[in-house]
């Protein structure tokens, strides 16, 4: 994918191309947004542009890649010797100091075939303290002919000392994205079920089952999508050590992307509960997130404003719990049993 294939309205891409045209690209960037996969695409396209054999020029300066030359193909297929990636490890779901040291060692070496070495840290918010401090040393004295790119959907969890040394570009949509058909259908079903009198545990577990089935479907699609893009699917003859590394990276990528999408689902639910709270306050419809989704008004009639606010706190606590090693199904079960509906 080339920059020309991105939406014309992407302010982040425009800023990157402007910096390329002026030859004032920074040595370290933090790309933030809603989807790690989208951020990886931006980072990959920037790496292609910096090393493209037949780049698209603006006043004689490369501002986009051809996406067809050998260098672009290698970067796309994750086989370029000078483009390096680090991802959270599968078991602990963190980026370790050993990974960081290995990545920084590669960056310090002279390029093998590229004009500019690129190191990308996916889910940089998963750097543990030791890894973050080790990476900080490289940020303070960046090697020549190299660019460091951090990707994160949760930049608030990154050390301030790292944030202050990176140029930050936000690739989150400037306007709230409309609900997809799947999101709208699921939230409508959940709202309709929640609007029924919740006098028994059966009703709560019906809601839990709806949520878990929705999340299972999301996880299956994430696995299918990322597995199809993995080098494992393209290079059957790769050495054992390399395949094991790719397997660990794939497992970690699936887990990280699923957790992100799970957080989006719970955020949708939290916004719906916010609508319930606003309705208990007799707020205007213009303040609601989902005026078209049924059920919130029925639930609001049964609750006081205080009870509705407590529901929002329950969802916030659940999100925090899910960042730990708590069992997902148990955390969601406890959350739904606590909700006052």
The answer to whether residue 175 is domain-embedded is no
Q: Are residues 133 and 202 in the same domain?
A: no
Q: Are residues 133 and 40 in the same domain?
A: yes
Q: Kindly report the backbone phi and psi dihedral angles of residue 137, in degrees, each rounded to the nearest multiple of 5, phi listed first.
A: -65, -40
Residue 174 has a pLDDT of 42
Q: Which of 206, 214, 205, 209 is closest to 187 using CA atoms?
A: 214
For residues 161 and 307, state if they share a domain: no
Q: Which domain holds residue 223?
A: 181-338
Could you tell me if residue 176 is inside a domain? Answer: no
- What per-residue confidence (pLDDT) applies to 149? 96
Q: Give the Cα separation of 245 and 34 in Å (integer).
A: 26
- Domain boundary (170, 189, 213) is at 170
- pLDDT, residue 118, reads 95
Same domain for 193 and 50: no
Regarding whether 139 and 239 lie in a shared domain, the answer is no
Q: Give the pLDDT of residue 71.
A: 94
> What residues are paired with 95 via a beta bridge?
127
Are 139 and 195 contained in the same domain? Answer: no
- The answer to the question of residue 309 being in a domain is yes
pLDDT value at residue 198: 67
- pLDDT of 8: 61
Residue 160 shares a structural domain with residue 193: no
Average pLDDT per block of 10 residues along the chain, 341 residues long = 78 86 90 86 95 92 94 92 86 82 90 91 90 88 90 85 88 62 89 82 87 93 88 80 82 84 87 89 75 87 90 86 84 91 85
* CA 50/CA 245 separation, integer angstroms: 26
Q: Do 14 and 140 lie in a common domain?
A: yes
In the chain, the N- to C-terminal Cα span, in Å, equals 47
Tell me, yes or no, whether 196 and 234 share the same domain: yes
Specify whether 319 is located in the same domain as 188: yes
Say how many residues make up the chain: 341
Q: What is the pLDDT of residue 177?
A: 56
What is the tally of structural domains in the chain?
Answer: 2
What's the burial of 23, exposed, middle or buried (CB within 10 Å: 0-12/13-18/19+)?
Answer: exposed
The phi, psi pair for 336, rounded to 5°, reads -70, -30
* Nearest-angstrom CA–CA distance, 317 and 326: 12
pLDDT value at residue 80: 93
Q: Looking at the structure, tell me whether residues 148 and 283 fall in a common domain.
A: no
Of 149, 208, 210, the closest CA to residue 12 belongs to 149
Domain assignment present for 47 = yes
Same domain, 194 and 158: no
CATH number at residue 144: 3.40.50.300
Q: Is residue 132 part of a domain?
A: yes
Which of residues 120, 148, 170 is at a domain's end?
170
Q: Is residue 196 part of a domain?
A: yes
Whole-prediction pTM: 0.61
Rounded CA gap, 138 and 267, in Å? 36
């Amino acid at each position: 994918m080339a920059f020309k294939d991105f939406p014309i309205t992407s302010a982040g891409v425009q800023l990157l191309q402007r910096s390329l045209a002026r030859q004032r690209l920074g040595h370290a960037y933090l790309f933030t947004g809603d989807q790690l996969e989208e951020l990886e695409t931006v980072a990959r396209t920037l790496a292609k542009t910096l090393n493209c054999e037949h780049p698209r020029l603006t006043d004689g300066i490369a501002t986009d890649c051809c996406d067809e030359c050998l260098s672009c193909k290698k970067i796309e297929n994750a086989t370029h010797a000078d483009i390096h990636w680090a991802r959270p490890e599968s078991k602990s779901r963190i980026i370790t100091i050993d990974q960081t040291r290995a990545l920084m060692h590669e960056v310090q070496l002279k390029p093998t075939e590229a004009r500019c070495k690129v190191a990308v840290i996916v889910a940089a918010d998963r750097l543990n303290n030791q890894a973050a401090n080790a990476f900080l040393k490289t940020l303070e004295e960046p090697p020549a002919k190299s660019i460091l790119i951090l990707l994160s959907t949760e930049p608030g969890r990154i050390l301030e000392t790292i944030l202050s040394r990176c140029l930050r570009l936000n690739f989150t949509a400037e306007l709230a994205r409309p609900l997809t058909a799947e999101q709208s259908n699921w939230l409508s079903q959940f709202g309709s079920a929640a609007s029924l009198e919740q006098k028994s545990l059966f009703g709560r577990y019906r809601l839990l089952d709806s949520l878990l089935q929705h999340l299972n479907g999301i996880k299956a699609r994430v696995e299918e999508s990322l597995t199809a893009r993995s080098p494992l699917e393209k290079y059957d003859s790769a050495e054992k050590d390399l395949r094991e590394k790719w397997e660990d990276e794939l497992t970690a990528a699936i887990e990280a992307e699923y957790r992100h999408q799970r957080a989006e689902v719970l955020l949708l639910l939290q916004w719906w509960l916010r609508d319930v709270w606003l309705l208990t306050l007799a707020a205007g419809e213009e303040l609601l997130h989902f005026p078209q989704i049924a059920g919130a008004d029925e639930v609001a009639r049964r609750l006081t404003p205080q009870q509705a606010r407590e529901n929002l706190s329950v969802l916030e606590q659940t999100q925090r719990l899910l960042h730990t090693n708590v069992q997902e199904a148990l955390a969601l079960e406890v959350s739904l049993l606590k909700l006052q509906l």
